[in-house]
Amino acid sequence: MKKNPSLHQQKKGFDLTLFFTVIILVIFGLIMVYDASVVQGLKDFGDSYYYIRQQLIWVSLGLASLLFFTHFDYRKFKQYSLPLVLGSFVLLIAVFIPGLGVSGGGAHRWLRIGGITVQPAEIIKLTGVIYLAAVFEKKVRFIPFLILVTSVSFMTAVLQKDLGSTIVFAATTTLIYFAAGAPIWHFLLSIPAVLGVLFVLISTSSYRIKRISAFLDPFSDPQGSTYHISQVLIALGSGGLFGLGLGHSRQKYEYIPEVSTDSIFGIVGEELGFMGAAFLIGLFVLLILRGLKIAKDSSDNFGKILALGLTSWLGIQTVINISSMTAFLPLTGVPLPFISYGGSALVANLTAMGILLNISKSNV
């Protein structure tokens, strides 16, 4: 005689659709990192395989983290949330310590620990979501939210000159705040303040002013301030419907800056065309939809907020990266999740997916 399933009965496995979507994205990313970094690797290290070898190491660490957190009960994060976010904030400060911090392009955003370079801004995106999920589990609390957003935004936007990460973090945490039940009038009151802060941050920085100008007219100064975006748009335009073919990019020959990191979507469009870019975007849409379904079906409020926060973070970052590469937004220095070269972001992204898969196991 068959038994009726209990409302409290748990699934035996995690969300396979989400899992395989992530695996496909990681494989896609490895192919594109190798393809886009061949020339850069030869120039920087005399080794065309340098960047893909590094990325394979990070992928291995990231997948190990994904598998671990798939089996780590996400509810335990409630007791670790405050130490995690405080530790991440300490890492943000540590980038200014001589001998630990690494600067580049006038910005202090990285730590070098034992030969490994880490970007703390990527870590606090993850731990910030975990912290707010724990804080908002029973009720929305404004003061912890305000302290977290303002302190992290000051460190990343003002001191580290990383406005892209600031926007992703602030947008993600704000979405969590209102999704958890904050009154809408808080949002309406915050709009003038946010616009004022953005105006000050942009108007007091010459390179940010140039990025706004480049956004308004991408081809106004193709040998100067609009060089980056104009080269990306040339790559996307030359790709046409089906692309030039995998490995046949012309723009990767030192025309596009940051070709294997923030600008890798340009190479995707050039080599795989509109269809390849649409396929990649489709994978991200599927990932976001599965994440939202996991949040909707979560059996507890902490899991619901945590799943929504993790999904929102990756969705917002994806939209910002692709929008900036297609001139729908000004250029921002944020990587494309799972696709761009870089260890900190990739491991943080895969860890988030492990947590999301763990939540899906406990859904009714």
Query: pLDDT value at position 245?
Result: 94
Total number of domains constituting the chain: 1
Residue 178 forms part of a structural domain: yes
pLDDT in tens, 196-243: 988 888 888 888 888 888 888 888 888 888 999 999 999 999 999 999
Query: pLDDT value at position 8?
Result: 43
Residue 2 forms part of a structural domain: no
Reduced to 3 states (helix: H, G, I; strand: E, B; else coil), residue 289 is helix
Residue 274 forms part of a structural domain: yes
SS3 content of the chain, % helix, strand, coil (to 5): 65, 5, 30
Residue 121 forms part of a structural domain: no
Question: Does residue 4 register a pLDDT over 60?
Answer: no
Query: pLDDT value at position 1?
Result: 38
The overall average pLDDT reported for the chain is 91
For 319-346, the DSSP string reads HHHHHHHTTSS-----PPTTTSS-HHHH
Query: pLDDT value at position 12?
Result: 57
Q: Which has the minimum average pLDDT: 8-12, 246-250, 319-323, 353-357?
A: 8-12
Q: What backbone torsions phi and psi does residue 351 show, to the nearest 5 degrees?
A: -65, -45
Residue 115 forms part of a structural domain: no
Whether the Cβ atoms of residue 292 and residue 17 lie closer than 8 Å to each other: no
For 124-184, the DSSP string reads HHHHHHHHHHHHTTTS--HHHHHHHHHHHHIIIIIIS--HHHHHHHHHHHHHHHHHTT--H
Mean local confidence (pLDDT), 105-121: 82
Residue 3 banded pLDDT, cuts 50, 70, 90? very low
Whether the Cβ atoms of residue 151 and residue 92 lie closer than 8 Å to each other: no
Which one-letter DSSP state was computed for residue 243? -
Residue 106 banded pLDDT, cuts 50, 70, 90? low
Residue 85 forms part of a structural domain: no
pTM: predicted TM-score of the whole model, two decimal places: 0.93
Mean local confidence (pLDDT), 295-318: 96
Strands 116-118 and 101-104: unpaired
Element holding 116 (H helix, E strand): strand 116-118
Query: pLDDT value at position 113?
Result: 81
| Number of Cβ within a 10 Å radius of residue 280 | 24
Question: Does residue 9 register a pLDDT over 50?
Answer: no
Range of the domain at 39: 16-78+140-361
| Number of Cβ within a 10 Å radius of residue 298 | 21
Question: Does residue 88 register a pLDDT over 80?
Answer: yes
End-to-end CA distance of the chain: 22
Reduced to 3 states (helix: H, G, I; strand: E, B; else coil), residue 111 is strand
Query: pLDDT value at position 62?
Result: 97
Rounded to whole angstroms, how far apart are CA atoms 245 and 264?
15
Residue 74 forms part of a structural domain: yes
Query: pLDDT value at position 224?
Result: 85
Residue 330 forms part of a structural domain: yes
